[in-house]
Structure 1
Amino acid sequence: MNASHPSADSLRAALATVLDGLPPRQAAQAVERLIANYRGDTPTDAPVLRDRSDVAAYAAYRMPATFEAVRAALYGLADAAPDWAPATHTDVGGGTGAAGWAVAEAWEGAARTTVLDWAEPALALGRELAAGAFEAEWRRERIGGALRLADTDLVTVSYVLNELTEADRTALVTEAARAARAVVIVEPGTPDGYERIIAARTLLVEAGFTVAAPCPHSGACPIAPGTDWCHFSARVSRSSLHRKVKGGSLPYEDEKYAYVAAARFPVTPAPARVVRRPQIRKGLVQLELCGPDGLGRDTVTKRHGPLYKQARDAEWGDAWPPEETA
């Protein structure tokens, strides 16, 4: 990737700039209060983002994790359609624009992004952060069932469905399917988040889309409802604000997320997907996989030659087998 294109490092640098001068204690208190709000621990009529300081603190806390999760989902789409790139991108409920940064990296700034959100302070900060990094329009729109989207190549909806009613979720995904050639939806990697992803995936398939990732097929998910959930993990470098708020000392944390990427154009999904952390034992690697025939396990040993080294290097969420050996 050309260094001039947005990246995780350039996003962190932009966030550091907007946090400059904001007392760390004030930033940490703002994040703690906002987390409590989103968990439902504060009155629903309390303002979520009261001012620029609130937005800056929360952006510094959440944008890197959202960026990493969305970027991973976008690369799933890009791997399944290597000859396709969006010229236009609409980020629904995008707030400060983490998905816009991820799209700009995945396709080297080829797409013009439109960020839709109701919170004006978030849009204002997003505009400030993205200045000079990628081309974008920031527009105030109420996100819900009445939203109407302009036709676009790509729609992203990240960490938004959990804030909507079931009816509004259905309406939003249906509208995204009408307006876009490709749709990428990301939710928290929890059982509830997975259920929302499966519901959205069903709507997209019914609308004529083909699942590009993470699934190797567009059929029904093989996981029996209530027994497990499909999710993945993205490593996020922790800022000092992350460590202060969470009280941790590690320089990183793992963001758990669930996603679906689907398209109206031809895609080539992975032959299978690694759906759990690979288990490395002496002389063998056990891979839990989801394939066209459902869930299964592949045991790769030293006798498999070069494939064994690739299995040792495989990570949760990777396609399997690697392209060069598929």
Structure 2
Amino acid sequence: MNAPASPAETLRTALAGLLDGLPPKAAAQSVERLIANYRGATPTHAPILRDRADVTAYAAYRMPATFEAVRAALDAFADAVPDWTPDSHVDVGGGTGAATWAVSATWEGDRPVTVLDWAEPALALGRDLAAANPALKTAEWRRSRIGAALTIESTDLVTVSYVLGELTETDRASVVDAAATAARTVVIVEPGTPDGYARVIEARDRLIGAGFRIAAPCPHSAACPLVPGEDWCHFSARVSRSSLHRQVKGGSLAYEDEKFSYVAATRLPATPAPSRVVRRPQIRKGQVLLDLCGPDESLHRETVTKRHGALYRAARDADWGDPWPPAE
């Protein structure tokens, strides 16, 4: 008997089906225009995804990357709170629902799920896609303005992914405060750029001020040791590229790496990583160089050599974003 498809595989299949009947050139042009809009100044009164063609093209192009980034953040959080499973989930600004798919890939079982977004075409498409995922068949897709007027019903988990960059500073603060009031756990994901990191740090500070503790990626809930303007904390998730990806971006690689920044904060008891690998490990002859964020609020480099035995073998397998040292 064949094993059931994973949520990632199911999502890829559902997205591929979306593009049937949509001319590839039209899809690529729509994606290019939407990317330009996302990189520009976005008025908070106007959803970027205006119609079914916009939403279809952009979902096929962006949902896999958003899914993988959010899933990586959720996996790190789940490692810090291993005995907890969310009983309910609200996805703020969730659009077509990539984060809801990532939650279903992280924790098995059904739970009440609500997706809030102001773009009705995105909600409609997300609802259609969710029919392929048993964990999302009862999800609610609700139109809501994402900003100062946002209210969120009490829930175990709130996700806010790739949303804060579309909002004004005032609206960003309101959304984070609403999430903190409603949820026991809040996970925020933004692009892995200096600006995306700055928004994550801003949200992190508000969550700590609201009484949350940081579960991931940081090993502590103190101030980030990075100097603003000189460096930024971000990670990488590998994404299988669709034919639409290759058409829009060129090249022939079957994958690309999605850079993202995130914070996972909770009111639950949590055991953060002892340290976190914050750069891609450098493997050299007989040694591995690991750049780590440590529990003492410092950034430092650790050199692991062959004489460290099993720890050296673990270092050779370590990846960017992993906890260090690995759990035994």
Report how many residues are paired: 323
RMSD across aligned positions (CA): 1.8
Partner residue in 2 for 1:120: 120
Partner residue in 2 for 1:193: 196
Partner residue in 2 for 1:52: 52
Partner residue in 1 for 2:308: 304
**For the residues of structure 2 that align with 1:142 and 1:46, how far apart are their CA atoms?**
10
TM-aligned CA deviation for residue 43 of structure 1: 9.9
Structure 1 pair 220–304 and aligned structure 2 pair: CA distance change class (3 A): same
- Provide the TM-score with structure 2 as the length reference: 0.95
Q: Kindly indicate whether the alpha-carbon contact (under 8 Å) linking 2:154 and 2:183 is maintained by their aligned counterparts in 1.
A: yes
Residue 291 (structure 1) aligned with residue 294 (structure 2) = yes
Partner residue in 1 for 2:31: 31
What letter corresponds to residue 265 of structure 2 in structure 1?
A
Q: Kindly indicate whether the alpha-carbon contact (under 8 Å) linking 1:153 and 1:181 is maintained by their aligned counterparts in 2.
A: yes
Residue 213 (structure 1) aligned with residue 216 (structure 2) = yes
Structure 1 pair 146–63 and aligned structure 2 pair: CA distance change class (3 A): same
Residue 259 (structure 1) aligned with residue 262 (structure 2) = yes
Which consecutive unaligned segments of at least 5 residues does structure 1 have?
none
Structure 1 pair 153–46 and aligned structure 2 pair: CA distance change class (3 A): closer
What letter corresponds to residue 247 of structure 1 in structure 2?
G
The SS at the match of 1:323 is coil
Q: Deviations over 1:262-282 (max 9, x none)?
A: 100100000000000000000
TM-aligned CA deviation for residue 108 of structure 1: 1.4
TM-aligned CA deviation for residue 50 of structure 1: 3.5
TM-aligned CA deviation for residue 21 of structure 1: 1.4
Structure 1 pair 45–74 and aligned structure 2 pair: CA distance change class (3 A): closer
Which consecutive unaligned segments of at least 5 residues does structure 2 have?
none
Q: Kindly indicate whether the alpha-carbon contact (under 8 Å) linking 1:103 and 1:111 is maintained by their aligned counterparts in 2.
A: no
TM-aligned CA deviation for residue 39 of structure 1: 2.0
Partner residue in 1 for 2:78: 78
TM-aligned CA deviation for residue 5 of structure 1: 7.0
Partner residue in 1 for 2:325: 321
Q: Deviations over 1:5-38 (max 9, x none)?
A: 7521111001011111111111111111111221
- Provide the TM-score with structure 1 as the length reference: 0.95
Residues 1-326 of structure 1 mapped to structure 2, 5 A cutoff: 4=4, 6-40=6-40, 48-133=48-133, 134-135=135-136, 136-293=139-296, 294-324=298-328
Q: Kindly indicate whether the alpha-carbon contact (under 8 Å) linking 1:86 and 1:110 is maintained by their aligned counterparts in 2.
A: no
TM-aligned CA deviation for residue 132 of structure 1: 3.9
What letter corresponds to residue 308 of structure 2 in structure 1?
H
TM-aligned CA deviation for residue 54 of structure 1: 1.6
Q: Kindly indicate whether the alpha-carbon contact (under 8 Å) linking 1:5 and 1:104 is maintained by their aligned counterparts in 2.
A: no
Q: Deviations over 1:60-95 (max 9, x none)?
A: 000000000000000111000000010100000000
Q: Kindly indicate whether the alpha-carbon contact (under 8 Å) linking 1:5 and 1:105 is maintained by their aligned counterparts in 2.
A: no
Q: Deviations over 1:209-265 (max 9, x none)?
A: 110000000011111222110000001000000000011211111100000001001
Q: Kindly indicate whether the alpha-carbon contact (under 8 Å) linking 1:162 and 1:193 is maintained by their aligned counterparts in 2.
A: yes
